[in-house]
Structure 1
Amino acid sequence: MIIFDFDQTLVDTSSVEQLRAARNWKAVMAKAPQLPVYEGMTELLSELHASGHTLAIVTKSPDMVPKAFIRAHKWPIDIVVGYHQVKNQKPDPEGLLLAMSKAGASPENTYHVGDQPQDTEASRGAGVMALGSAWGCGDIQGLEASNPDEIFSTVADLAVFLKSGVVRVS
């Protein structure tokens, strides 16, 4: 199973960050069609799904935002855990654990891709492999300091890693 953060990992949401911080979700949704998906991400999601991986999104945003992208880009993602589905947001691992439960996945076979130290901390709490996505990260030093298992500068680099059949050693 591969779990993705949404903001700044799948989609560049930096232009609506102030709206998100103000919880103006109506305005965020109005601007959503103009938000750019990171280069190569749609193709990567399709390839991972085609090779049998279960894909999920766990986000601190309400799930309506990523679900709009799933519909618009025909992403093969069935599991979305958003703000309203959990009591505790990242860095608490609750969202990751819920996504894994829905998929019937175990921690040793799960990867979590995110751009913030909170993502790494949530990964550690859930016992899954933490993959740092530096391509949309606003604080690379903070991400590096959180010590994810791997950090990737581009979606293409992440794709090579995930498609290489990496097996975790416990």
Structure 2
Amino acid sequence: MIIFDFDQTLVDTSSVEHLRAARNWKAVMAQASKLPVYDGINELIQDLHKAGQTIAIVTKSPDMVPKAFIKAHGWPIDIVVGYHHVKNRKPHPEGLLLAMSKAGASPDATYHVGDQPQDTEASRGANVVAVGSAWGCTDTAELEASKPDVLFSSVAKLRDYFVVELGLDG
């Protein structure tokens, strides 16, 4: 199973961060379809799905934004755990554990891809592989200091990793 964080991992949401901070979700949703998906993400998600991987999104945001992307881009993602689905948000592992429970996945076969130290901490709490995604970060120092199991500066390098780890078609 592959669990992705959403903001700054799959999609560049930096242009609506001020709206998110103000909890203006209506304005965020009005901009959602215009937010850029990082290069290679659409293909990676399709490749993971073709390889039989269950894919989930666990986010500290409400689930409506990732669900809009899933619909707009035809992403084969069935599990979305958002702000309202958990009592404890990241860095607590509750969201990851919920996603794994829904998928029937075990920690030893689960990867969590995220751009924040809280993602690494949540991965540790859930006993899954912590994958750092630095491609959406302006400053990677905190992510590097959190010591994820692996850290990638591009989606292409993450895909190469999954080619080896999961046997994706190279």
What range describes the TM-score normalised by the shorter chain of this pair? over 0.9
Deviation at 1:166, TM superposition (A): 5.3
Aligned AA (1:25):
W
**Which runs of 5 or more residues in structure 1 are unaligned?**
none
Q: Deviations over 1:95-143 (max 9, x none)?
A: 0000000000000000000000000000000000000000002330000
Aligned AA (2:87):
K
2:24 is the counterpart of 1:24: yes
Instruction: Among all aligned residue pairs of Structure 1 and Structure 2, give the percentage whose two residues are the same amino acid.
Output: 75
Q: Deviations over 1:57-114 (max 9, x none)?
A: 0000000000000000000100000000000000000000000000000000000000
**TM superposition score normalised by structure 2:** 0.96
Q: Distance in 1 between matches of 2:136 and 2:148?
A: 16
Aligned AA (2:5):
D
Question: Hey, what does 2:49 align to over in structure 1?
Answer: 49
**TM superposition score normalised by structure 1:** 0.96
Question: Hey, what does 1:4 align to over in structure 2?
Answer: 4
**Which runs of 5 or more residues in structure 2 are unaligned?**
none
Write the mapping of 1:145-160 to structure 2, written as runs, cut at 5 A: 145-160=145-160
Query: How many residues align structurally?
Result: 167
Tell me which stretches of 4 or more aligned residues in structure 1 moved more than 3 Å: none
Deviation at 1:165, TM superposition (A): 2.5
Aligned AA (2:160):
V
SS of the residue 1:34 aligns to: coil
Q: Distance in 2 between matches of 1:151 and 1:90?
A: 19
Deviation at 1:163, TM superposition (A): 1.8
Aligned AA (2:56):
A
Write the mapping of 1:90-129 to structure 2, written as runs, cut at 5 A: 90-129=90-129
Question: Hey, what does 1:161 align to over in structure 2?
Answer: 161
Asked whether the 8 Å contact 1:112–1:130 carries over to 2, the reply is yes
SS of the residue 1:151 aligns to: strand
Q: Distance in 2 between matches of 1:159 and 1:66?
A: 21
SS of the residue 1:136 aligns to: coil
2:83 is the counterpart of 1:83: yes
Asked whether the 8 Å contact 1:92–1:125 carries over to 2, the reply is yes
Aligned AA (2:19):
L
SS of the residue 1:112 aligns to: strand
Write the mapping of 1:135-154 to structure 2, written as runs, cut at 5 A: 135-154=135-154
